[in-house]
Structure 1
């Protein structure tokens, strides 16, 4: 949370003053880095988490943000893979942030970040993996948008950012479910950009590998073997021994380059949440160090 990308000067702190953001899957990893960045810009935030084991992390993050930036942060436990989960996030936000005087309530920013990874080859894939992957990565964001729709702005100031993956376009082996679900999320991004044109901009970002807990738990040698050709050709993945951590330097020797830091991926996401991104919608913004270039 102390990185230069989240500190900001006085102007940066006011950039999103008075705004409210919901970020799913935000107790750790990219989601937590997004929450920190938005809070540093003055935004009130809803921190969503799924498992009981993440409750203390979410609570600690909320306390740190309130102490550091004076922003309001609440935590909501809800499973984006359950039909009732997304609506419960909106309900909790409405209960906490509705203006007691005017009764008004508005959701300014939504970052659909929660996701699950499935790495299964055709011969090994399981129907349950498909159901879970598409429930969390596709249906969850759609249900959240449906629940939030009545509370989005009507002046195009809203910001929706969907966190996809470079796997949706690279055709990574074993990513039939994961890559396919993220491609569906990108397709919905374009549809929502048209449906919500008078309410909000809608964009997606497609990170490559990011140094998060999820990334750390991906099986090692096989994943490194598949990633190496891509990372070797990713301009910003070249390791910097005097700057990057020793663990990433060691990893780069086998994998061909380093993953992104969570705040690097979050910085692009949060840029799309600001007023400066008002003329960008329906796009998939490459947020992967150059692993994939725009076409």
Structure 2
């Protein structure tokens, strides 16, 4: 954990010297920050000068999250706070916010503002109707739906009051594509998109609220898809405009896998770039939307 006090950066990295630290002075919560898309989002926001409250759940994620936080602090001169909290537990979101406030509030005034919230933590199981069970239903909905809702509830007193806040929810094309065995997972992401629209109205004087909807991404969650899943996804990837593997541009292993799978997956950095765009001041007149972050597999309406 870094020094428990917010400070402006004195970094001389290329981002700072080039004037690209567009989130200087902002504080962001990123749930599920230890790996994959969450890790890439932390790197992107940190490179723009944003201080980070980095959340993880399992004990095995403690070391990689601490290492990432230390690396980002050293490279970009930002404040990083690492907090273990289970977004699937009823008390987890409140614990995350209260711990962050205790570390970052102004020592004299007690002022604490959360400028950006990235609801990234999520779980997925692929189960058919016959395989569905109550425990899995509760597990996925508690993390993917209740977690973001309760995090917003806990963070509400600390959001900006001038519309400068930014909330970005990580949804999925599964919310609208009707993939096999995703009755529960797809339902959780559809619920998250519905909450995005509701929050955009309730928080209209505080923050913009948007979702992004990745398709397959080259992360741990998608590392070992079953042959059946690959076969079902191949047709979708073949019709995704930006999924074609490109000789001489993409790494050779990506091109070869794309030939087998029907197309390439996104990189975590590509998703993080869309998220970061929605965190900027330039996105100030965009709210209540689901933004395409899937290469065109699912066109946003």
TM tier, smaller: over 0.9
SS in 1 for 2:113: coil
Q: Distance in 2 between matches of 1:269 and 1:71?
A: 19
Equivalent position SS for 2:54: strand
Alignment partner of 1:33 is 2:40: yes
Displacement of 1:118 after TM fit?
A: 1.4
Matched, 1:294 2:300: yes
1:101 correspondence with 2:105: no
Q: 1:65 offset after TM fit, Å?
A: 0.3
Match of 1:207 in 2: 214
| C-alpha displacement of 1:129 | 1.1
Distance 1:215 1:192 in 2: 29
CA shift at 1:220, angstroms?
Answer: 2.2
* In structure 1, C-alpha distance between the alignment counterparts of 2:149 and 2:251, rounded to whole Å: 38
CA distance in 1, matches of 2:269, 2:291: 16
Is contact 2:15–2:21 with CA below 8 Å preserved after alignment?
A: no
Counting only pairs closer than 5 Å after superposition, residues 94-243 of structure 1 correspond to structure 2 as: 94-217=101-224, 219-243=225-249
Instruction: Indicate yes or no: 2:52 matched with 1:45.
Output: yes
Shift of 1:105: 0.4
Work out the CA distance in 2 between the residues paired with 1:253 and 1:121: 28
Q: CA deviation at 1:144?
A: 0.1
Q: Give yes or no for contact 1:192–1:202 (8 Å, CA) kept in 2.
A: yes
1:125 alignment partner, SS class? coil
Structure-1-length-normalised TM-score = 0.95
- Asked whether the 8 Å contact 1:15–1:42 carries over to 2, the reply is yes
**In structure 1, the residue corresponding to 2:129 is in which secondary structure?**
coil
Task: Give the Cα separation in 2 of the matches to 1:215 and 1:246.
Answer: 19
Write the distance in 2 (CA, Å) between the matches of 1:213 and 1:137: 17
- For each residue in 1:156-181, what CA deviation from the matched residue of structure 2 results, as whole angstroms up to 9, or x when unmatched? 00000000000101111111011110
Is residue 12–residue 41 contact of structure 1 (8 Å, CA) maintained in 2? no
| Alpha carbons of structure 1 residues 173 and 83: separation in structure 2 relative to 1, 3 Å | same
Aligned residues: 289
Deviations 1:196-253 (A, max 9, x none): 0000000000000110111114x32111011111100001100023232343223212
Give, in whole Å, the separation in 1 of the partners of 2:90 and 2:175.
24
Equivalent residue, structure 2, for 1:280: 286
How far, CA to CA, are the matches of 1:11 and 1:198 in structure 2?
Answer: 32
CA contact (8 A) 1:90 1:147 kept: yes
Moved over 6 A (4+): none
User: Is the 8 Å Cα contact of residues 12 and 40 (structure 1) preserved in structure 2?
Assistant: no
Separation in structure 2 between the aligned mates of residue 12 and residue 171 of structure 1, nearest angstrom: 43
Distance in 1 separating the partners of 2:236 and 2:251: 21
Equivalent in the alignment of 1:258: 264
CA distance in 2 between partners of 1:166 and 1:189 (Å): 15
Specify every segment of 5 or more residues in structure 1 that has no aligned partner in the other structure, as ranges.
1-5
- Partner Cα separation in structure 2 for residue 253 and residue 215 of structure 1: 17
Q: Aligned to 1:83, which of 78, 90, 96?
A: 90
**Aligned with residue 69 of structure 2, among 49, 62, 66:** 62
